[in-house]
């Protein structure tokens, strides 16, 4: 009997504990709400979704080339982002003031693959989706909001006006839309250069024809907004190169007349900073000198690559001040084992459209008919 009474008393104590705990939580929540009301702010909770296409077809009215595909039937492999930087703004008169900034660390399982339905990607294509509920303090309800974001496999460092931003939440540094657009990404580390294809953002000039507004705009914060989806896109352009030696030049009676491509180096690769949200607005005063040699040419596992082959890489597109009409990418090529200066081929890809939104896919076909001399040519890229 005493044993039974002891159990009963313990159970009563447990019930009392949970009741008190519930009252405490309720009082805390009420106190938080009361404090927010005294400050004259409202609270909104919005399910926010970042989306990334696994293939890069686009909605009607925007028709850039696919950037996530090589040959038909060949799919590239990308690393899912492990870091996300989310900026939410609220319209205030003619300005867009920062409401909050989130820096998220993501795991692979945070991304869910599914079929897309909407206007920012081809209907039925595969996408990856990350969802988070954003809790925001509002100065007033029912106004417009604006969202932009960057996602990356590697942790990023941001700069503004040449100075490293140590705290993205610092309102003295980032207070509004214009401040956000001034953010640049430090792409100088080798780890970032090797992962340019795994950086995505929301282009600032993606304007929807149906509304005439930036595609990350949403209405009626705190009232009718059920959720917000933001599709992200590559900030780096894909360069796809294919080379071949003419059949009649691969073998010749005189060995010196035979042609082999034995060195291929990509030059003029931007490796300092680039715009986070303006991928087609990078302008430099001096041509960059960074580059790298295509390894399967320099040390081929198959000597057949000397006569034909294909490679691709990602780089940040840019123009040069004074000539903001072309992306002056350059190739350095050598034939037949030469150690000379090399043949420099400048491929001037036009980037003149004022409303260019998405970074392009450059394709170059190189056909060699004779051993290369140390000269330079300027051509338009495909």
| Domain residue spans of the chain | 43-234, 237-379
Instruction: Give me 328's structure tokens.
Output: 């002056």
Q: What string of DSSP letters covers 16-44? A: HHHHHHHHHHHHHHHHHHHHHHHTT-EEE
Collect the ranges in the chain with pLDDT lower than 50. Answer: 1-40, 56-74
- What was the pLDDT predicted at 361? 80
What's the predicted TM-score (pTM) here?
0.82
Please, what sign has the CA dihedral across residues 195, 200, 205, 210? positive
Range 293-297 contact pairs with CB under 8 angstroms and sequence separation of 24 or more: 293/263, 293/264, 293/265, 293/266, 294/264, 294/265, 294/266, 297/261, 297/262, 297/263, 297/264
169: region left, alpha or beta (phi > 0 left; psi from -120 to 50 alpha): alpha
Place of tokens 């945070």: 110
- Numbers of helices and strands, H then E, in the chain: 4, 24
Task: Give the tens place of pLDDT for each residue, 205-259.
Answer: 999 888 899 999 987 666 555 568 899 999 998 888 888 998 888 887 676 778 8
Helices marked H in 277-357 = 295-298
Alpha carbons 133 and 306: distance in angstroms, whole number: 54
Contact of 162 with 173, CB cutoff 8 Å:
no
User: CA 350, CA 319: separation in Å to the nearest integer?
Assistant: 10
Q: List the structure tokens of 144.
A: 């417009």
> Who's near 255: CB < 8 A, 6+ residues apart?
none
Residue-level pLDDT at 102: 93
232 burial via Cβ count (<10 Å: 0-12, 13-18, 19+): buried
29-40 pLDDT, tens digit per residue, is: 333 344 444 444
Measured distance CA(346)–CA(354) in Å, rounded: 23
CATH number of 237-379: 2.60.40
């Amino acid at each position: 009997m005493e044993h039974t009474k002891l159990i009963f008393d313990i159970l009563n104590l447990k019930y009392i504990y949970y009741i008190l705990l519930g009252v405490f939580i309720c009082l805390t929540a009420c106190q938080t709400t009361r404090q927010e009301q005294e400050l004259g702010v409202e609270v909104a909770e919005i399910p926010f979704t970042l989306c990334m296409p696994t293939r890069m077809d686009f909605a009607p009215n925007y028709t850039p080339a696919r950037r996530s595909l090589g040959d038909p039937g060949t799919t590239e492999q990308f690393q899912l982002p492990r870091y996300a930087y989310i900026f939410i703004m609220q319209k205030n008169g003619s300005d867009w003031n920062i409401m909050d900034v989130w820096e998220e660390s993501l795991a692979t399982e945070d991304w869910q693959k599914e079929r897309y339905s909407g206007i920012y990607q081809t209907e039925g294509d595969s996408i990856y989706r990350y969802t988070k509920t954003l809790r925001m303090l509002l100065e007033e309800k029912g106004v417009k909001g604006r969202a932009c974001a960057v996602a990356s496999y590697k942790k990023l460092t941001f700069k503004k006006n040449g100075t490293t931003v140590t705290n993205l939440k610092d309102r003295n540094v980032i207070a509004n839309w214009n401040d956000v657009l001034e953010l640049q990404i430090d792409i100088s580390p080798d780890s970032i250069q090797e992962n340019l294809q795994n950086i995505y953002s929301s282009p600032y000039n993606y304007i929807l024809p149906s509304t005439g507004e930036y595609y990350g705009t949403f209405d009626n914060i705190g009232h009718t907004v059920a959720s917000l989806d933001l599709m992200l896109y590559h900030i780096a352009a894909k360069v796809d190169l294919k080379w071949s030696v003419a059949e009649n030049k691969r073998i010749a009676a005189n060995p010196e007349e035979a042609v082999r491509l034995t060195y291929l180096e990509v030059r003029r690769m931007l490796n300092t900073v680039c715009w986070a949200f303006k991928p087609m607005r990078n302008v430099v005063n001096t041509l960059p000198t960074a580059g790298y040699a295509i390894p399967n040419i320099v040390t081929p596992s198959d000597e057949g690559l000397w006569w034909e082959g294909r490679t691709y890489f990602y780089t940040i597109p840019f123009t040069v001040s004074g000539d903001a009409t072309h992306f002056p990418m350059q190739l350095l090529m050598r034939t037949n084992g030469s150690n000379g200066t090399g043949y420099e081929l400048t491929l001037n890809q036009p980037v003149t459209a004022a409303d260019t939104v998405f970074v392009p896919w450059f394709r170059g076909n190189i056909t060699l008919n004779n051993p290369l001399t140390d000269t330079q040519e300027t051509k338009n890229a495909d």
